[in-house]
Amino acid sequence: MQPLAGKVAIVTGAGRGIGQAIARAYAGAGASVCCAARTWEQVSATAASITAAGGRAFPCAVDVASEAAVQGMVEQTAEQFGGLDILVINAGVDLDAHVVEHSQIELWRATIETNLTGAYLCARAAIPYLRQRGAGKIITIGSGLGHRGQPAAAAYACSKAGLWMLTRILAQELADANISVNELIPGPVETASSSPDPQHSVAARHPTEWRKQPEDVVPLALFLATQPDRGPTAQTFSLMRRDG
C-alpha cells in the first residue's frame, strides 16, 4: 500500500508540527520528500526519522520568504529526486495582536512575508517542475481564521485569507495543466505554535472544536495528494466543526 510510490514532494515547515507529520506520512506512502524549514536541526531530524524508517528524504534549510532560497529548494529537490509532483505549502507563523497594538509593523510584515509571500514564491518556483510532469498537486495549509477572521488576528487572518484566494487563482491558472490546487484547513491542532498558557490553550480557545494532534491531519493530507489528476481543485477541505 504505497499510494505515493514514485512521487516527489516538498513539504515546507516540515521541522515540527503538522508539516513534520505530513512529511513522514507522505514518505511512508512511498514519496521522496524534501523536508524544508529554517531550523536545520529540526528538518534534519525529520528527514533522519524518515530515512531511519526506510523512506527517502532530505532536509533543506530555507526561509520561504527568500526568493533565491526557495528557488534553490525546488531545484535541489528536482535534481535529487528527478522531478516534483506535490508541493505542500505549510510553513507558517502566527505573530499577532489587536491592530491598535501592532506597534511593531514587523509583526504584520513577518506574518504576511511567510504565510502569503512565501506561499506565492514556493508555488511560483514549483510550477515549471509540476508542468514538466504533466500533472501535480499543490496543497495549501489554510486556516478557518482566513475565512471568518477574529479580533487580535488581523495579520494572520489576512495572510490566510490571501492564501485562500491565491489557492483559487492558482487552481484556475493551472487547471489545464492537470495541477490541482486545494486548501486544507486543519482546525485547532496542538503544536509548538499553541500557547503554553492554559488560559490560551487550544482547549480553552476552542471548547467545541475537535482538538487534534498533528497526525490527525494526515488522512486528509494523504487524500488530497492521492486524488486523480483531474480531481478536485480550487476547493477548501476543512477538519473544523464550524464554518471555514
Ligand X SMILES: NC(=O)c1ccc[n+]([C@@H]2O[C@H](COP(=O)([O-])OP(=O)(O)OC[C@H]3O[C@@H](n4cnc5c(N)ncnc54)[C@H](OP(=O)(O)O)[C@@H]3O)[C@@H](O)[C@H]2O)c1
Q: Give 212's DSSP letter.
A: B
Can residue 146 be called a binding residue for ligand X (CB under 6 A)? no
For the question of residue 156 being annotated catalytic, the response is yes
Among 7, 9, 15, 47, binds ligand X (CB under 6 A): 15
Q: Which helix (H) or strand (E) holds 211?
A: none
Of the candidates 110, 172, 93, the one whose C-alpha atom is nearest the C-alpha of residue 138 is: 172
Angle at 115 between CA 184 and CA 17, to 5 degrees: 60
Q: Return the axis-axis angle of helices 154-174 and 118-133, rounded to nearest 10°.
A: 20
Q: Is 167 in the site for ligand X (CB under 6 A)?
A: no
Can you tell me which of 19, 28, 55, 136 binds ligand X, judged by CB under 6 A? 19
Footprint (CB under 6 A) of ligand X, residues 199-218: none
| Closest CB to ligand X among residues 154, 178 | 154
Q: What are phi and psi of 9, to 5 degrees?
A: -130, 145
90 binds ligand X (CB under 6 A): yes
Instruction: Assess 91 for contact with ligand X (CB under 6 A).
Output: yes
Query: Residue 54: which residues within 8 A CB-CB, separation 6 or more?
Result: none
Residue written as grid cell 487524500: 223
Does 64 help bind ligand X (rule: CB under 6 A)? yes
Q: How is the beta sheet containing 236-238 ordered, strand by strand?
A: 56-61, 32-37, 8-12, 86-89, 136-141, 179-185, 236-238
Considering only 1, 52, 100, 192, the residue that binds ligand X (CB under 6 A) is: 192
Q: Which of 170, 189, 218, 220 binds ligand X (CB under 6 A)?
A: 189
Backbone angles phi, psi at 237, to 5 degrees: -115, 120
150 binds ligand X (CB under 6 A): no
The residues with which 179 forms a beta bridge, in sequence order, are 136
Contact call for residues 109 and 205 (beta carbons, < 8 A): no
CB of 121 to ligand X, least distance (A): 10
Is 59 near ligand X (CB under 6 A)? no
Give the total of residues touching ligand X (CB under 6 A): 30
Question: Which stretch, 9-17, 51-59, 71-79, 173-181, contacts ligand X (CB under 6 A)?
Answer: 9-17
> Torsion angle of alpha carbons 160, 165, 171, 172, nearest 10°?
-170
Task: Decide: is 153 part of the binding site for ligand X (CB under 6 A).
Answer: no
Per CB under 6 A, 141 contacts ligand X: yes
Which positions are catalytic?
156
Binding site for ligand X (CB under 6 A): 12-13, 15-19, 37-39, 42, 62-65, 90-94, 114, 118, 141, 143, 186, 188-189, 191-193
